Amino acid sequence: MPNAYSSNCKPKWEAHLYPAQFHRVFEELRIVSSEGEIALDQLSDEEIVDLCKQQLPDELEAFTELVRRYEGLVYNFCMKIIGSPQDAEEVAQDSLIQVYHKIHQFEGRSKFKTWLYKIVHNYCRNRISKIIRKREGQEAYEEHVKETDPQTTQGSKDQLDNKARIQEALNHLKPKDKEIITFKFMLGMTLQEISDTLGVGASAAKMRYYRAMESFKEAYERSGKPLPVTAKPNSR
């Protein structure tokens, strides 16, 4: 099913900003690009950001190009952290709107992508804090089912494949541990990028990573299957 960030759907952030100009902006962007006046897709992120600072809030062409580049990454980031498509879509939209309002504060001390991830990460954390009690209630119910019918639960576990066991282990991690594992293995971020995103030192990021790995190992083994022996991940 297509979401707000698939190629078949127009991003919803624009409807929040300028509903009446929603279709016109895209049409003008195509016209401008085709006429060669400004090839936005040929500009670097830094150049696009500078152009956004010049254009906003009166014009949206540069910001539209910036969103086109990153809306998919933002949604996937939110989806991997939060796990719920609906929540991920809403958080992605809120994050991009925040970028629209805060882009003039970007000073270029880090890559734009790192600055963007910090904003998205904060919104993900805020959303997680709102749904954590609901999740805890669901887990309490599942534990109750396990206690009342352990044989059925074990039978279900035997049918889980490795991917399902990994997801089960992730679901039982603390939010901070889960996000570290997600950053490292699902988003392919280096420890330095994790450090920049979380706003902590490299040593602190490394310690959080190792603690998260230990927690994941314990959760995985509790799911009923020993953790496969793998080579030590590159800590760059």
**pLDDT per residue over 162-221, tens digit each?**
777 888 888 888 888 888 888 888 777 888 888 888 888 888 888 888 898 988 888 888
Give the pLDDT confidence score for residue 190 in this predicted structure.
83
Task: Give the Cα separation of 74 and 203 in Å (integer).
Answer: 26
The rounded radius of gyration (Å) of the Cα atoms in the chain is 21
Asked whether this chain's domains 13-116 and 161-227 adopt the same fold, the reply is no
Question: From 3.10.350.10, 3.40.50.720, 1.10.1740.10, 3.40.50.2000, which CATH number describes the 13-116 domain?
Answer: 1.10.1740.10
Domain 161-227 in CATH 1.10.10.10: yes
67 close to 11: Cβ distance less than 8 angstroms = yes
Q: Which of 110, 158, 45, 186 is nearest to 212 (CA)?
A: 186
Using alpha carbons, list the distances in angstroms from residue 25 to 95, 122, 137, 168, 209.
20, 29, 45, 44, 43
Q: Where are the domains of the chain?
A: 13-116, 161-227
> Per-residue pLDDT for 105 more than 70?
yes
Phi and psi angles of residue 60, each rounded to the nearest 5 degrees, phi first: -115, 0
